Chain A
Amino acid sequence: MSASSLAPQNSLEVASIVRDAAARRQSIEIIGGGSKRALGRPLDAAITVDVSGLSGVTLYEPAELVVSARSGTPLQHVTDLLAQKGQMLPFEPADYRPLLASTGEPTIGGMVATNLSGPRRLHVGACRDAIIGCKFVNGRGEEIVSGGRVMKNVTGYDIGRAMAGAYGTLGVLTEITFKVLPRSHATLTLVYEGLSCDRAVALMSAAVASPFEVTAAAHIAEGNRARTCLRLEGFDASITYRAGRLIEDLAEYGQPQRLDAAPSKGLWREIGEARSIIEPADHVVWRLQMPPSRSAALVNSLRAMMDVSVLYDWAGGLVWLSHAPGDDVTAVRTAAKAGGGHATLIRAGEALRRRLSPFEPQAPAVEKLARGLKHAFDPAGILNPGRMYAGI
């Protein structure tokens, strides 16, 4: 349990806290809203630093497609603000509170630190792709600026983008700047029913390899009848045309239902949140990334060993998978790796997350570099130590 909890109100205070902690070699757990605190390895830190006081949008220029927010800003606040101008964060960040049975307000900083992206990642890239600048406090307590507020910037190394997915082990994020996109005028989802996983992945691959710009492709394997969903976004005339061509080219997979904007929105929110696999609540949940064409074979091989629930997103490149806690947990990672992919343990009891690395173990040469990189940012090893991997 944490010995003390601090709530800085600005980046200067963050820097001062980190400097003091570094001098005393006291470890720090960084939290925002705390909604994703159960991700990664359990942490026993001396100090908890709650950055939710670093809140607010500091820059928003709709005509330049750019928004900056302090790291503790509620994600909802940013998405609402963008929506008022018909814009959005491109990568469709999802709310993982239902999955993790957590509370608290998801923040911009937590979203970046975990680099978890939603369904539109297939088409427009991940959270890390949308980052064009960031400010953070490194483990020395120094405020560092990387990137800026312009779309194209190769001035110096891209260390800000590398903060995405680093789980707070390289620095305490204080402000992040994103490229945003206009929301589409219209949305249409084509839903194919009753396909096997193999057929569904083949359908999604064919759709994504078409010229018709599918912005999301998912297969919900659970439920009474499997549903394979393709989303089209744009303006009406364009969607009508693209949908027509897709249905024609993919006729061998059957006739899809059409969901217009409102039901589409709900459906893709549920897919982003992995709703179809979160029950029962005691089951272990994995997030596997695979070359899409190999994801169905991976699932089939696991089904031969245990009961699994699965949800395919990113046209099969992402597989959400859950199984009973008593099953062979090592089998999942072994199978993913054999198929050219990797596995992240997203939901599991604390004991399992201590025993089994939640993140894919790294090759020795890369692990050595990772220790070096940690040292380059956080020489005292005080920032979220061990949150990702033991020793970094």
Chain B
Amino acid sequence: MTQIAMPQPDPLILAKRERIIAGLKERVPAQWVITEEDERRPYETDALTAYRRLPLAVVLPGSTEEVAAILSFLSREGVKIIPRGAGTSLSGGALPQEDAVVVGVGRLNKVLDVDFTNRTARVQSGITNLAVTTHISPDGFFYAPDPSSQLACTIAGNIAMNSGGAHCLKYGVTTNNILGVRMVLLDGTIVDFGGETFDQPGYDWLSLVIGSEGQFGIVTEATLRILRACEGARPCLLGFDKVEDAGACVAAIIASGIIPVAIEYMDQTAIRICEDFAHAGYPLDVAAMLIVEVEGADAEIDVLLTHIEKVARENGARIVKVSKSEAESAAIWKGRKSAFGATGRIADYLCMDGTIPTGQLPYVLTRIGEIVAHHRLRVANVFHAGDGNLHPLILFNANDVDELERAEQAGNEILELCVEVGGCLTGEHGVGIEKRDLMEKQFTPVDLDQQIRVKLLFDPDWLLNPAKVFPLNLHPLPLGRAA
């Protein structure tokens, strides 16, 4: 058995399954209420595949009004609700429970309105992240947050997790790129937060909703900030014999006054795995490699890359390879972007997501190596170095129960290390179930109580995406500490 506990299903809810299904079918066309076991099966997990729970039913509403009718009905019946986008969460954010109904927003996948003059796009939340950019790219625009899963993941999921990506060093994460949302509350009330203006009046509801992991309501529409793309972008590849030098180089580039759009780090294990898969021309004999990308017109890019090359050489880079063509750029990125997939070909892995102060990089990398070795496992390090968001991939064999447990233990120790050096448990994947039981390492009981009090405003009975984010012993708020 794996370590993360989930609550026992409520027999009273299971007993009225037929009534719940009938109620759903009164509110959405029956074809969109999924009840057969084999059809529910695809919804039993997300990208944290070690955990599976078959939901009581799955419902796929086709409008905000249907979502409202569903939430109002389910909350009256006391049924737990698992909001779901595309199910790409790496932290178990979309993991169902046996006594819960999955409400999927996948059918809400349309672009409603694009306003290039005001640089906004209003979309339904079930649209995929990449589909937004694909829709507006013929006009030279893009939507900035670009998680690795952008081909599949939805805007709804991005909002729930406040997703990032490789380019947030310059463009920020989801919370910095959303102007407004339409959200359905548990009782079926439809509210609009924000709108088309830069700032919103009153409290900053978007701050609260974005990153609330589906625990405040279900977002059905969003107004996104879209940006005009620069004329071009080009990466360079820097190879180092010492891990410390690569870390120092990141700091030196930033301290020199340049903010590249991306600075990606890969260690030797990751380089070899990706090179094997993508044939990107990565140097196999270096200890660490950086991919640094800059944007602008050709002339601007030349100046920036010349400057970066100089800083890199001063910081011990042995290999400096500047992309000279679209094809070379694509190859450099193909290797990096296939890191998770390529790793998956050779082993199962747990993908960690802590963030650390970048000054701590060399120390943390050394300690990660020690922790993983202590648990007799291997690790590949791939991450967004510019903002200190680490993604150590702990390699293990899922058929070996003992290895999975050791991998989870090593993962927990790595995340605790991140907190210890002044960082945090999760930079972009979310807490979900995966980091739920570590929250007390980062926060005091009063910190968590304050967060829970905000949650209770939206969901006093813990029906929305329950058993996530907060340790189970804090559900509900202990009576003595209640408001």
Tell me whether A154 and B427 are in contact (CB under 8 A). Answer: yes
Give Cα A234 to B304, complex, Å: 11
Tell me whether A293 and B118 are in contact (CB under 8 A). Answer: yes
Interface code A98-134, partner B: CB below 8 Å = 1, 0 otherwise?
Answer: 0000000000000000010100011001101100000
Interface code A200-213, partner B: CB below 8 Å = 1, 0 otherwise?
Answer: 00000100111101
B422 within 8 A of A: yes
Interface code A167-182, partner B: CB below 8 Å = 1, 0 otherwise?
Answer: 0001000000000011
Tell me whether B297 and A241 are in contact (CB under 8 A). Answer: yes
**Which positions 275-300 of chain A face chain B at CB distance < 8 Å?**
289-293
Give Cα A289 to B176, complex, Å: 17
Give every chain A residue within 8 A of B411 (Cβ-Cβ): none
The stretch of B74-82, B187-195, B334-342 in contact with A is B187-195
Closest to B210 in A: A158
A150-B191 CB under 8 A given contacts A63-B254, A291-B118: no
Centre residue among A66, A86, A156 by max chain B CB count within 10 A: A156
Give every chain B residue within 8 A of A289 (Cβ-Cβ): 197-199
Give every chain A residue within 8 A of B202 (Cβ-Cβ): 359-360, 362, 366, 370, 388-389
| Closest Cβ–Cβ distance, residue B363 to chain A (whole Å) | 14
The stretch of B11-19, B24-32, B59-67, B167-175 in contact with A is B167-175
Tell me whether B257 and A372 are in contact (CB under 8 A). Answer: no
Tell me whether B164 and A152 are in contact (CB under 8 A). Answer: yes
**Which positions 290-338 of chain B face chain A at CB distance < 8 Å?**
296-297, 299-300, 303
Give Cα A122 to B358, complex, Å: 28
A342-B197 CB under 8 A given contacts A145-B447, A158-B162, A237-B299: yes
The stretch of B236-244, B267-275, B382-390, B394-402 in contact with A is B382-390
Give Cα A255 to B161, complex, Å: 47
Tell me whether A154 and B161 are in contact (CB under 8 A). Answer: yes
Interface code A158-194, partner B: CB below 8 Å = 1, 0 otherwise?
Answer: 1101101110001000000000011101000000000
Give every chain B residue within 8 A of A164 (Cβ-Cβ): 204, 207
A366-B205 CB under 8 A given contacts A63-B358, A150-B427, A156-B431: yes
The stretch of B37-45, B277-285, B344-352, B437-445 in contact with A is B437-445
A156-B451 CB under 8 A given contacts A151-B388, A241-B300: yes
Tell me whether B359 and A61 are in contact (CB under 8 A). Answer: yes
B453 within 8 A of A: yes
Give every chain B residue within 8 A of A62 (Cβ-Cβ): 255
Tell me whether A165 and B204 are in contact (CB under 8 A). Answer: yes
Give every chain A residue within 8 A of B428 (Cβ-Cβ): 152, 154
Tell me whether A359 and B425 are in contact (CB under 8 A). Answer: no
Give every chain A residue within 8 A of B453 (Cβ-Cβ): 376-377
**What's the tally of chain B residues with a CB closer than 8 Å to chain A?**
92
Closest to B230 in A: A211
Give Cα A241 to B172, complex, Å: 26
| Closest Cβ–Cβ distance, residue B215 to chain A (whole Å) | 8
Closest to B253 in A: A63
| Closest Cβ–Cβ distance, residue A67 to chain B (whole Å) | 13
Give every chain A residue within 8 A of B181 (Cβ-Cβ): none
Tell me whether B195 and A64 are in contact (CB under 8 A). Answer: no
A344 within 8 A of B: yes
The stretch of A136-144, A246-254, A301-309 in contact with B is A136-144
- Of the residues B189, B208, B259, contact of A365 by C-beta under 8 Å: B189
Give every chain A residue within 8 A of B189 (Cβ-Cβ): 365
Give every chain A residue within 8 A of B175 (Cβ-Cβ): 129, 158, 161
Tell me whether B457 and A372 are in contact (CB under 8 A). Answer: yes
A158-B211 CB under 8 A given contacts A185-B257, A376-B453, A376-B456: yes
A-B contact pairs, 29 of them (CB 8 A): A63-B254, A64-B388, A65-B254, A115-B199, A129-B175, A142-B446, A145-B444, A146-B450, A146-B451, A150-B356, A150-B423, A150-B424, A152-B168, A153-B426, A156-B439, A157-B208, A158-B210, A181-B259, A182-B258, A208-B119, A210-B228, A237-B299, A242-B297, A289-B197, A291-B115, A365-B185, A365-B191, A369-B205, A375-B457
